Amino acid sequence: WKLPGRPVLVPVYIQRGMLRALEALEARSWRAVSKTLERTRYMNAARLLHATKFLRTRSAVGALRAGAATAVAAAVATSTSGTAFAVAGCQSAESRAAIPLSSSFIADAAARVAPALVNISVQPAGSGLRAAMQGASGSGFVVDPSGLVLTNCHVVRDAAARGGTVTVTLSDGVTRLRGVVEHSDAISDIAVVRVNHHAALPAAELGSSSDLRPGEFVVALGAPLGLTNSVSFGIVSAIERTRSELGLHDSLGARNTTAYIQTDASINSGNSGGPLLDVHGRVIGVNTMKAMGMDGIAFAVPIDEVKRVVRQLTAHGRVLRPYLGLKFIELSEPVAEELNARAAEKESRGLFGGGHVARVPARGLYVMHVTPGSPAQRAGFRIGDTIVGMRAGSPAAEVVSTKQMVDGLSEHVGGQVELEVSRDGEKANSWLEVTVETMQT
């Protein structure tokens, strides 16, 4: 670091004076921290200090999480002996503090959820060699102490459809319980299994996948190849991988809008249904599949999507998927340019009867087909409309993706919503009220 006049390496040691300064200043706001760092010129205001030895004390960890970087700067200024700080990048004054990681953070995260991990085996109805060969196995995890287990639908499909036997083995490897498939949804590939036990079962803590970023550490638990209580480690390679990107086709009569988490954590046969964890040991996804013949490419259903599916399964016994009778494509600048270029070419050839063709906007959902007799047709939708917004008893929200549209409609199945439409030949957007019906799947 360059202090005024000359570069120096500032030494720091864990001492009582430092901790007193920390306690006195830990209530300061991030804005004050930023100004202090600028004023003292220890470093750019967008940088914070991160001390390995300093973080070993519990009080220091708590203070850093609370944003007490001013105390760190003050301690640096007053210290004269000890070991050196390392510089860690920080975001803005309003951003969250850096999360300290120990050398055993993977083991710590796994240990928090390991007691809730279960192995699931399914024996189809019937007997003989064929029934034995059709048996399936996978993983799952307890989400409620009363005995509620989450897993993948494909793990327990045979039991749900043909009355097979589900056996749930707890993390001790000894206790085996009879499982009953309470709910399952093949489209999202999520199932809920119920077990009965004389005592409350340890349950995993569910986190959130909404703010997940590529590059974050993740831990996958499961029983690959029947090897129970296995742990693998990796990063989030990408978020919101759609089924079309993965080359998957919807064959169940409903559009699957699940956007998967891609990870390089090892997920193999038997890991299906197991939890994907963040560094705090919170479940952020359900391990679902891997790319065949490839290492380091695996996918998990985001936990926020799982929560939504389970809520609907619990309330209705199935997932209510909205139906309007529309087929549309997501617009982007390249897609809009292509559509506009095609329209301009047809216009120049007189294929529109000499009429003017309005330009397609760069954002929204472009309607390609309206099903006759559908709710959308009754509401007045036309081919060529672009859906750009939605409201239903709340402030209007912009609509730019299929998932955003479906998620918004899912909360209002059986009711009515208003969709904002950009239409050819109209200067102002119009709002169309449409009844959201449910698709039978």
Catalytic residue among 144, 154, 264, 424: 154
Going through 43-175 in order, the beta strands assigned E by DSSP cover 47-50, 83-84, 86-89, 117-123, 136-144, 148-151, 165-169
- pLDDT grade, residue 86 (50/70/90)? very low
The per-residue pLDDT for 243 is 75
Nearest to 439 by CA among 305, 181, 252: 252
The per-residue pLDDT for 99 is 60
Q: What is the mean pLDDT of residues 10-37?
A: 42
The per-residue pLDDT for 362 is 85
194-198, 237-241, 436-440: least confident range: 436-440
272 carries an active-site annotation: yes
Taking only the tens place, the pLDDT of each residue in 376-419 is 999 999 998 999 999 987 788 888 888 888 888 888 888 999 99
- Return the bridge partners of 326, or none: 370
8-12, 118-122, 267-271, 321-325: least confident range: 8-12
Question: What is the chain's mean pLDDT, rounded?
Answer: 75
Catalytic residue among 139, 209, 272, 401: 272
Would the pLDDT of 63 be above 50? Answer: no
Taking only the tens place, the pLDDT of each residue in 219-278 is 999 987 778 889 999 999 999 888 777 767 655 555 667 889 999 998 888 889 999 999
**Maximum distance among all Cα pairs of the chain, rounded to whole angstroms:** 85
Q: Which helix (H) or strand (E) holds 60?
A: helix 58-65
- Return the bridge partners of 261, or none: 300
pTM for the model stands at: 0.67
Would the pLDDT of 97 be above 60? Answer: no
* Calpha distance 259→401 (Å, rounded): 11
The per-residue pLDDT for 217 is 95
Taking only the tens place, the pLDDT of each residue in 125-182 is 766 555 555 667 899 999 999 999 999 999 998 776 667 889 999 999 899 999 999 9
The per-residue pLDDT for 202 is 95
Please return the burial class of 69, using the count of CB atoms within 10 Å of its CB with bins 0-12, 13-18 and 19+. Answer: buried
The per-residue pLDDT for 250 is 59
* Calpha distance 32→147 (Å, rounded): 48
Q: What is the mean pLDDT of residues 188-192?
A: 93
* Calpha distance 323→253 (Å, rounded): 11
The per-residue pLDDT for 366 is 92
Catalytic residue among 137, 139, 171, 189: 189
